[in-house]
Amino acid sequence: MDVREQDKIDKLMVQELDGTQNEWGWCKSKLGANAILAVSMAVCRAGAAASEMPLYQYIAKISGHPTDKFVMPVPALNVINGGSHAGNRLACQEFMILPVGASSFKEAMIIGAEVYHTLKTCIKKKYGQDACNVGDEGGFAPNVQDNNEALDVLMDAIKKSGHEGKVKIGTDVAASEFYNAESKLYDMDFKNPDSAPEMKKTAKELMEVYKGWLAQYPFVSIEDPFDQDDWEAYKMMMDEVGKDQQIVGDDLLVTNPNRIKKALEVGACNALLLKVNQIGSITEAIEAATMSQKAGWGVMVSHRSGETEDSFIADLVVGLRTGQIKTGAPCRSERLAKYNQLIRIEEELGPLCSFAGANFRHP
């Protein structure tokens, strides 16, 4: 087989060599998604080399995007960690900054780094030196007591860094982590064994919490605001705030084309979090992104909590023209590898690329 036949090779691995299925499609339980993906990515890189193209240009070609004009993504930098990623009492897993007011990817990284280091100073002053330790994805995990406190510290850092107005906020709530399927309640203080009854909220009450945040802080993106199977709650959120906010499905969609189809039917969200090792092959990742983009959704390319220094997703986000990438804080080499590759791509492309900026949802 020719290495430039990405879809044929992926199909051979997924459907013939593995061949396992569940209710949502090919589940790869025989060979494993990570093993299949490693080969799929190697084939993609070999295909780019055989075509004498940079990887991002080759990905653009095989996914049906223009190969002469590119869009650099807005980075969603995870600067405060909570949820299951940290030992504090913060319910939300991630608070991110999106420097949408930058003029280039490089400037976005400069702004992001300045806010990040100002945040460290603010945290050190308020919580002490120990609070400056970083989590899995390079974000800080200070001993904040609730989500609003974390947001206030973050807003203080944005203002003190001099970038107010240029920087917006996003969050990955990862609400499945604190949802109780029996009581159908969301425990906003789930890491406290003596969580007060008022901290346990119905989907409607949690929606009011989110609406309070949207009124008070410059939010542009909310990921996994409800449990992964709480389709009705997602639809409620889309009906109420979906016009102005990006509602991202991660646990909800797991980069699976069949779950994306259901979300489109229900009207559950308006953006996909694209994780290549969640679906397990480059062809299926491209299919998921294309399906979402055709539906008018945003697509945020994402890393995983346990990462390597491989920078494939940096080329992927440029090739797929998704306009946004989430790959941790401006800290830790396995996160910076992606950001540095994006800076290199931007320098290489020069006038052949533009920065997504405020249009990151539909670049």
Catalytic status, residue 114: no
- Measured from the Cβ of residue 142, the count of other Cβ atoms closer than 10 Å reads 26
CA 284 – CA 257 distance, rounded (Å): 8
Q: 307, 301, 361, 358: which is closest to 334 by C-alpha?
A: 307
Domain ranges of the chain: 6-52, 61-359
Average pLDDT, the chain: 96
- For residue range 241-255, what is the model confidence (pLDDT) as tens digits? 999 999 999 999 999
pTM: 0.96
Catalytic residue among 137, 177, 284, 307: 137
Catalytic residue among 200, 275, 326, 338: 275
Residue 340, phi then psi, degrees to nearest 5: -65, -40
Catalytic status, residue 284: no
Determine the pLDDT at residue 133: 87
Determine the pLDDT at residue 40: 98
For residue 263, give both structure tokens. Answer: 């979300």
pLDDT lower than 70: segments of the chain: none
Determine the pLDDT at residue 305: 84
Q: Name the superfamily (CATH) of residues 61-359.
A: Enolase-like C-terminal domain (3.20.20.120)
